[in-house]
Structure 1
Amino acid sequence: MPDLIPTAQEQLKFLKNIQLILQSGSFSSTYKFALLISLSRLAIEKGEDTGTGLTLEYTDIAEKFVELYWKQAVPYVFNDEGQLILNQNNGKQAAIVNRIIELRQIYSSLGLLRRDSLIWLKLVKDVARTVKDMPIRYLQNINGQNFEFLYQLDQCGKQFILLPQVMFCLRQFSEIIEELCQKRWIDYIRKNSTNAPILNQLPNLEQFMFEPSRNQLNAVANVLVELQECKCFYCNKPMKKGTYAVDHFIPWSMYPSDTGHNFVLADSSCNSKKSNLLASDEFLHKWQERNEEQDLIIVDRISILGFLTDKDRSHKVAEWAYAQGKENNYAIWHG
Structure 2
Amino acid sequence: MMPTIDFADTGRRTTRLGFGCSSIMGSMGRRESLQTLQWAFDAGVRHFDVAPAYGYGEAEGCLGEFLSQHREEVTVTTKFGIAPAKNPGLIGIARNLARPLIKAIPALKAKAQRAASVVAAVPAKRDLSIQKAQASLESSLRNLRVDRIDLFLLHDATAGEVRDSPLLGFLENAKQKGSIGAFGVGTDRGHASAILAESPAYARVVQREWSVFDGVEDIDTFKIHHRSLAGNRRRLERYLASEDIAKRWSAATGTDLRAPGVLGELMMRAALGTNPVGIVLFSSKDNAHIRSNALLAEPSAANAKAMELYRLVQAEADQIPTEFTV
Q: Higher strand proportion, which one?
A: 2
Structure showing greater relative contact order (alpha-carbon pairs closer than 8 Å, 6 or more residues apart): 1
TM-score, scaled to structure 1? 0.30
